[in-house]
Amino acid sequence: MELSDRLCGTPAERAALERVRTASNDVFERHSLRVFLIAEELGARDGVDFDREVLLVAALLHDIGLYRPPQPGSTYVVEGRIDGDEIGREQDWAQERIALLCDAIERHHEVRAQWDRGTEVELIRRADFADAVPLGWRRFGLEAGWIGALHARVPKRGMYPAIVALLKSQPPASLLRIFVRP
């Protein structure tokens, strides 16, 4: 997608985008973009500071573990965390920044707010919910007009059938384990 290419300007962002493109299809690339754009909007609207690069890389990688067969005993959020750690290390990021990225990826399905883990962690959690759950955007006060414009720019077409196909292909236990702390 042209928008992905324009948004991804740093080596870490381009590396994350390349991993998504290699592992998945345009449906999930678009979902990752919407998650980033929603997270960015929520952060700007709420007036919170965030690391844009961490936010974009986390948005791109938050579901990457879904696109590959799960490792025995693992979950897709842990697999995504591994990708985040690899990219952070390849780019010589500080350990604190890598930990923030990895937490944003691994904790994006947490039930409770994650502000204490980092702004980026909570923004990705909210943005994924807002995009993946029908009308989930209302929960965080996003405007219908803004969401409509986002969907015109980055269509949601094909997302729910793709999710159902993934659910059918993944062993149920690997998906349920995302809600259980190791």
Give me the pLDDT at residue 182, please.
42
In the chain, the largest separation of any two C-alpha atoms, in whole Å, equals: 43
Model confidence pLDDT, tens digit, residues 142-159: 999 999 999 999 998 887
Give me the pLDDT at residue 70, please.
67
Residue-range domain boundaries for the chain: 2-179
Closest alpha carbon to 40 in 131, 138, 174, 112: 131
Please state which CATH number belongs to domain 2-179.
Answer: 1.10.3210
pTM: 0.88
User: What is the distance between the alpha carbons of residues 70 and 170, in angstroms, rounded to a whole number?
Assistant: 8
- Spell out the residues 6+ positions from residue 102 whose beta carbon is closer than 8 angstroms to its own: 81, 84, 85, 88
User: What is the distance between the alpha carbons of residues 155 and 145, in angstroms, rounded to a whole number?
Assistant: 14
Closest alpha carbon to 10 in 129, 116, 78, 101: 101
**Is residue 38 a contact partner of residue 79, using CB atoms and an 8 Å limit?**
no
Mean pLDDT by 10 residues, the chain (182 residues): 92 97 89 97 97 98 81 73 95 98 91 94 96 89 95 88 71 50 45
